[in-house]
Amino acid sequence: MGAQMENWHFPARYDQSYLPDPDSPYWFPHRETMDPQERDAAVLVRLREVMEYAYSTSTFYRTKWDAAGVKPADITSFEAFEQVPVVTKAEMRESQANHPPFGDYLCCDSSEIHHIHGTSGTTGAPTAFAIGRRDWEVIADNHARILWGMGVRPGDTVFVAALFSLYLGSWGALAGAERLHCRVLPFGAGAQGMTARAVTWLARTKPKAFYATPSYALRLAEVAESEGIDPREFGLQVMFFSGEPGASVPAVRKAIEDAFGATVIDCGTMAEMTPFMSASATAGTPDGMLLWQDIVWHEVCDPDSFRTVPYGSEGTPVYTHLERTSQPMIRLASNDLTRWVLEDNPCGRTYPKLPDGVYGRIDDMIHIRGENVYPTEVDNYLRGVSGYGGEHQIVVRRTGSMDEMIVRAETTHPAGQRDAFERDTGSGLQSLLGVRVTFESVDANTLERAEHKSRRVVDEREHTKR
Ligand code: 8LH
């Protein structure tokens, strides 16, 4: 069984010169289309191997599992695996504070480290990611394989329009496209005037594929249009996105498709989980995200018990590396929300799927007057309203003892002619969300646009608590 799976080893080993048959939609036909139960059985053996490796090379996992009474050798069923305590971001921060800079979950020799990345640290102490040299090659292979699934081929030009700094998104996309023998344009993002320059370079190089965050793609379309250039002229065919919800939010997806005339592909787990593209749609199954279970083991779990929920149900993703030897994550809790299904995929891959993508973070969900509001619901709604100006903000504040939600949206309607827009949009939002909404409109192009991930929610209740 395992022997039939192409290049199935731990530690992983891939032939760096391998490319599939040009006519094959699959990079590894067997692994991608095999009976999912057989694949899961091979993964279970692998989970034990990865745990044995982590137990013997890291104090972090040894201490954690000893305290929980978990032994790698006992992981002979998925029920047993679900008893393995999850890793939280707080634990990683603590481990790095006590064992700087990479924490005591660094499982490889520090001489093996090839790249250092990290979180931006805007909301607390940054976390450092150390990625081994061999792991980087394996990540590149995995991402090349997933890009192949999206329809990207050797020789295609791939335009990477995301921050080239600590952020792993851009670097991971670059590594995959390089391994796939593409022509990569590591354009970047975030510097003054760079979006206008991106328009020029896209028009000049006419890439086949493009990578960014979804909000940045919308920003780029606005800038192109303001310069009199139709983004469809770039000739993009595949646009793949990660970093935030958007590519699976129906109205955002449609806005990108309409603006650029390209297929929109959603992908992405977490930076810690690089190869983060292990959740990704494909050319043949472009909606939602497939869980490439032989690269990273994805579970969708109850957020309290961290036991998997049945297919069809909502839960929080929990991720386990199957190939990383530097900082392997074993049951990393994401704090995100999603729903998973296992059904026939049109592309023929036998992976489970997140049909609505990852639709939000548990901690971004706004709890107001007993209701849960997902910011993506507001985004999805506003994009369907005629006269919406393209950007909005959600402010939650406490007035007296009552929580109040204010949605401030841009409109293209001229001042003095906004009454109907304000009334209809406000009442539409209110009935969609089930909470009272104070709706305000502002001029188009006045709210801040994201160059990276959007931050549309301002919860002033947290400030008043401090
Ligand atoms: C997403 C998505 C998505 C990420 N749909 N939410 O871009 C992938 C990696 C590099 C990344 O963004 O990592 P980072 O900065 O650690 O952020 C991870 C979080 O970003 C993740 O937990 C989600 O909340 C969000 N995210 N990709 C919806 N396709």
R_g (Cα) of the chain, nearest Å: 23
Q: Is the CB of 361 under 6 A from ligand 1?
A: yes
Number of neighbours of residue 314 by Cβ within 10 angstroms: 14
What distance in Å separates the CA atoms of residue 328 and residue 244, rounded to the nearest whole number? 23
Q: Is the CB of 376 under 6 A from ligand 1?
A: no
Q: Is the CB of 169 under 6 A from ligand 1?
A: yes
Tens-binned pLDDT, residue by residue, of the chain (466 aa): 444 899 999 999 999 999 999 999 999 999 999 999 999 999 999 999 999 999 999 999 999 999 999 999 999 999 999 999 999 999 999 999 999 999 999 999 999 999 999 998 777 789 999 999 999 999 999 999 999 999 999 999 999 999 999 999 999 999 999 999 999 999 999 999 999 999 999 999 999 999 999 999 999 999 999 999 999 999 999 999 999 999 999 999 999 999 999 999 999 999 999 999 999 999 999 999 999 999 999 999 999 999 999 999 999 999 999 999 999 999 999 999 999 999 999 999 999 999 999 998 998 889 888 888 999 999 999 999 999 999 999 999 988 888 999 999 999 999 999 999 999 999 999 999 999 999 999 999 999 998 899 999 998 886 544 3
What distance in Å separates the CA atoms of residue 176 and residue 35, rounded to the nearest whole number? 26
CA of 336 to the centre of ligand 1 (A): 9
* Structural domains of the chain ordered from first start: 1-359 (3.40.50.12780), 365-465 (3.30.300.30)
Structure ipTM: 0.99
Cα 291 to the chain's mean position, in Å? 12
What distance in Å separates the CA atoms of residue 30 and residue 46, rounded to the nearest whole number? 17
Q: Is the CB of 360 under 6 A from ligand 1?
A: no
For the record, the structure tokens of 61 come out as: 């996992």
Ligand 1: residue of 163, 256, 270, 319 to mutate (most ligand atoms within 8 A of CB) is: 270
Ligand 1: residue of 248, 358, 363 to mutate (most ligand atoms within 8 A of CB) is: 358
CA of 416 to the centre of ligand 1 (A): 40
Alpha-carbon dihedral angle through residues 154, 156, 161, 165, given to the nearest 10 degrees: 30
Question: Whats the size of the chain, residue-wise?
Answer: 466
Contact 31/5 with Cβ under 8 angstroms?
A: yes
How many helices (DSSP H) and strands (DSSP E) are in the chain? 13, 21
Rounded to the nearest 5 degrees, what angle is found at the Cα of 353, between the Cα atoms of 352 and 356? 160
